Structure 1
Amino acid sequence: MHSRRKLVSAIALALALNGVVAHADPLKANVIHWWTSGGESAAIRQFADAYNKAGGLWVDNAVAGADQARATAINRIVGGDPPTAAQFNTSKQFHDLIDQGMLNNVDTVAAKENWNAIFPQSILDSIKVNGHFYAAPVDIHMQDWFFYSKAAFKKAGIAGEPQTFDELFTDLDKLKAAGLIPLALGGQAWQEKITFDAVFADVGGTDLYLKVYRDHDQNAVNSAAFKNVLTTFKRLHNYVDAGSPGRNWNDATALVISGKAGMQVMGDWAKGEFSAANQVAGKDFGCFPGFGPHSPYMVAGDVFVFPKTDNANAIKAQNLLATVMTSPEAQVAFSSKKGSIPIRPDVDTSSLDICAKEGIAIMKDKSRQLPNPEMLISPDLQGALTDVITNFWNKNESADDAQKAFASALKG
């Protein structure tokens, strides 16, 4: 009898221990992303640390280059070895995956966290399809901030920030005369396109921008106003250096950080590089999101999608990722490193820099929110229009010919 009792007790203890061990096993999450620069790596670690503290095990799969990372994720999904989560931009990039039934939704998280009430409409329009939430947004970026070196401006005798594009060109001339690179540009197609869109939003205005990208209005594309956008954009070519072609965006940012270049047009993720170099916004570098108090604020960002799986633990990991990444604490920690602003307005922003605070204030004015092109057009059309812009930038092509090419690409 005594032996039997000992055996029963041993079995009970083993079962209890097994239960503890099973319960203690962390939810492994294999996450594909393209955040590989210094500032980006510091930012993604905030999500990884938060996920691990919540009982998960973050398995990092960093792939250099956004296109390459997306291709890797799609290949793994199609090949039957899907990651737990994969990064895409806040756009239509992942909508084909939704249409093909290749993504899980995170509706339970969205309902519990009240995403409908918290997130901006432009973000909801991207992540919510046919009533279901297929992605967790993790940041709001504005892709056409103007960053400048305080030291370079001082050397060139520039007292304040330009208030118009005419004043911008005057300042670029001063920087050139001072022997500096006026405009640090990474000569890659996507960087040329966001520089063009910065000009488009500020010079062309919101109405023309929406007529072109949202409505595909041929009269708008063929207008004198759109030709002026193209001409203004190409004028910037006079202010880039010979080393621009093929340069990575963060290498262009490094030129501004070092004071070798005066300015850069780039998304607010560039602040992560300034932060990693121990530079302070308002002291070492300046930032402005356009010209004047009513300039449009182009909303962009990143999301993580959750590839289709029936594995119960993988689904739990996906829901935990969606919960942790959008939580107030992780949002602030991530944004402070990444340069973005939090996806939700109900967070403590006191620790964020002056650029982020300005962005948060602007986002409260819905009239200034402008969807980035990839929220309005398909990835194929975005690619075709990017080709038009990069050809115009890099070749001896007239504004008239570029205008015709843009109109033709927009027709499809």
Structure 2
Amino acid sequence: MKNAMKLLLAGAALAALLAPANADDKPKAEVMTSWTSGGEAAALNIIRSEFEKRGGEWEDSSIAGFGAADAAFQNRIVAGDPPTAKQVVIGLDPAEFIKQGLMNPIDDVAAAGKWADVLPKTIYDFISHDGKVFLSPTGAHGESWMFYSKEAFEKAGIASEPKSWDEFFAAMDKLKAAGILPIAWGGQAWQETKVFNMILLSQAGIDGFLKIYVDKDTSPASMEAIKKTLTILGRMRAYVDEGAPGRNWNDATAMVITAKAGVQFMGDWAKGEFTVAGKVPGKDYGCMILPESEGMVFIADSFDYPKTGDASQDKAQKLLAEVVMDPEVQVAFSIKKGSIPMRTDVDKSQLDACSQKGLELMSAGKIVPDQAIILTPQQAGALADYVDAFWSNPSANVDEEVAKFPSIFQ
């Protein structure tokens, strides 16, 4: 009888081990991002598909607009109902939540994956706090790009990429004369600020750019670079349409894709929109670093993982961190989104011509960080307000605006 009971129990135990896992045991992840455009959604789906392939259950909480997604996330944190993971920009902003003890470290995942060996040291330092890893990076973006329509340039008789700002404005005049909108402008403060930074790098150089944003330098040389930047930015108003205010960046990209506009200034995530539309770099559109610029501004995305008090959520967070840093996922994600993989050991041969250009600049160290990485959220917000106020006021006096610039660091 005892032997029979032992066999019965053993059989039951074996059956339990062999039985398929209950659906409720699946790691469930509610993932909050601002990735809602065609290219962004396609890239996010790369991560989602692999997460589900590994047994996870995905709930999408994407909200259009980075600012809107951030505001919703903060409300969820305050309400004690955070999502499983949140897309964030590497830098000082996520560091604030980490310092407040609101985020889970993912040290064990990072150690198992040897992230310290496969990530650029700068990036690894940004995702680590007090010796612990909290963020899983998805990819880096160059932000100093000018995308242009080959069809529009041909119609306007523009034979080559402008190498100086004088050549740039001459090209814009040709587009206007041909009845083509010169600049597809996204009239939102964050987009305007990125254009400001692109121009500033072309006027201040890498060292000068870093002096201004890292050292908060207000010397005559730095302020002269700000003056030149505002002057160039102000000249662009004459080449923008009346429908620009409030326009989303991907809608501006669509104007270049359809040759309704000549150029757009945007981060290389705009390539994802061209890809979705079936457009090929070098054939249908061009990508160039801004005139007179010796490098590019960069930004990097990642996921962080809020403390939820739920052990099953911890399991989902670790699985998502593993998926995000998978070498094949990094490449496939970057191809869809137009970014550059963060891992240094991936097969980069699959990247397009634009990404290869960006990769060369990053490898050569000809990069400077976006303000979201090196400024506090308050300072970054003040910068966006400053640029938006200038752009929105065609009668603004450049010298007076230069004098106001140092106030953004206060």
TM-score by length of 1: 0.94
Of residues 333-342 and 201-210 in structure 1, the stretch that sits farther from structure 2 once superposed is 201-210
**1:114 Cα deviation from its structure 2 partner:** 2.3
CA distance in 2, matches of 1:390, 1:137: 30
| 2:337 matched residue in structure 1 | 338
CA distance in 2, matches of 1:126, 1:337: 24
CA distance in 2, matches of 1:127, 1:268: 22
**1:345 Cα deviation from its structure 2 partner:** 2.1
Of residues 242-251 and 158-167 in structure 1, the stretch that sits farther from structure 2 once superposed is 158-167
| 1:347 matched residue in structure 2 | 346
CA distance in 2, matches of 1:51, 1:353: 26
| 1:252 matched residue in structure 2 | 252
**1:88 Cα deviation from its structure 2 partner:** 0.9
Is the contact between residue 389 and residue 402 of structure 1 (CA under 8 Å) also seen in structure 2? no
Mark the CA change 1:182 to 1:82 in structure 2 (over 3 Å): closer, same or farther: same
Is the contact between residue 208 and residue 222 of structure 2 (CA under 8 Å) also seen in structure 1? no
Residue identity in the other structure for 1:328? P
| 2:46 matched residue in structure 1 | 46
| 1:382 matched residue in structure 2 | 380
Gaps of 5+ in 1: none
Residues 15-94 of structure 1: pairs in structure 2 closer than 5 A = 15-19=13-17, 20-22=19-21, 25-94=25-94
Is the contact between residue 200 and residue 225 of structure 2 (CA under 8 Å) also seen in structure 1? no
Residue identity in the other structure for 2:41? S
User: CA deviation digits over 1:196-250, x for unaligned, max 9?
Assistant: 1110011221222111110111225763232112111111111111111111101
| 2:154 matched residue in structure 1 | 154
CA distance in 2, matches of 1:30, 1:84: 5
Of residues 49-58 and 112-121 in structure 1, the stretch that sits farther from structure 2 once superposed is 112-121
Is the contact between residue 180 and residue 260 of structure 1 (CA under 8 Å) also seen in structure 2? yes
| 1:277 matched residue in structure 2 | 277
**1:10 Cα deviation from its structure 2 partner:** 5.5
Of residues 398-407 and 388-397 in structure 1, the stretch that sits farther from structure 2 once superposed is 398-407
**1:14 Cα deviation from its structure 2 partner:** 4.3
CA distance in 2, matches of 1:58, 1:11: 36
Mark the CA change 1:270 to 1:165 in structure 2 (over 3 Å): closer, same or farther: same
Residues 176-255 of structure 1: pairs in structure 2 closer than 5 A = 176-219=176-219, 223-255=223-255
CA distance in 2, matches of 1:16, 1:59: 33
| 1:321 matched residue in structure 2 | 320
Is the contact between residue 220 and residue 226 of structure 1 (CA under 8 Å) also seen in structure 2? no
**1:16 Cα deviation from its structure 2 partner:** 3.7
| 1:300 matched residue in structure 2 | 299
User: CA deviation digits over 1:148-194, x for unaligned, max 9?
Assistant: 00000000101111112221111111111111111111101111100
CA distance in 1, matches of 2:223, 2:12: 78
**1:85 Cα deviation from its structure 2 partner:** 0.7
Aligned equivalent of 1:391, options 389, 392, 398: 389
CA distance in 1, matches of 2:116, 2:56: 26
SS in 2 for 1:218: coil
Of residues 64-73 and 321-330 in structure 1, the stretch that sits farther from structure 2 once superposed is 64-73
CA distance in 2, matches of 1:81, 1:180: 49
**1:31 Cα deviation from its structure 2 partner:** 0.8
SS in 2 for 1:94: helix
**1:364 Cα deviation from its structure 2 partner:** 1.2
Mark the CA change 1:358 to 1:303 in structure 2 (over 3 Å): closer, same or farther: same
CA distance in 2, matches of 1:81, 1:9: 47
SS in 2 for 1:64: coil
- The ranges of structure 1 where at least 4 consecutive aligned residues each deviate by more than 6 angstroms after the TM superposition are none
**1:13 Cα deviation from its structure 2 partner:** 4.3
Sequence identity of aligned pairs in percent?
45
Residue identity in the other structure for 1:96? E
CA distance in 2, matches of 1:223, 1:356: 33
CA distance in 2, matches of 1:114, 1:14: 40
**1:299 Cα deviation from its structure 2 partner:** 1.6
Is the contact between residue 47 and residue 334 of structure 1 (CA under 8 Å) also seen in structure 2? yes
Residue identity in the other structure for 1:371? P
The question of 1:124 aligning with 2:124 is answered yes
The alignment covers a number of residue pairs equal to 407
Gaps of 5+ in 2: none
SS in 1 for 2:344: coil
**1:333 Cα deviation from its structure 2 partner:** 0.9
CA distance in 1, matches of 2:95, 2:13: 45
**1:340 Cα deviation from its structure 2 partner:** 0.5
| 1:359 matched residue in structure 2 | 358
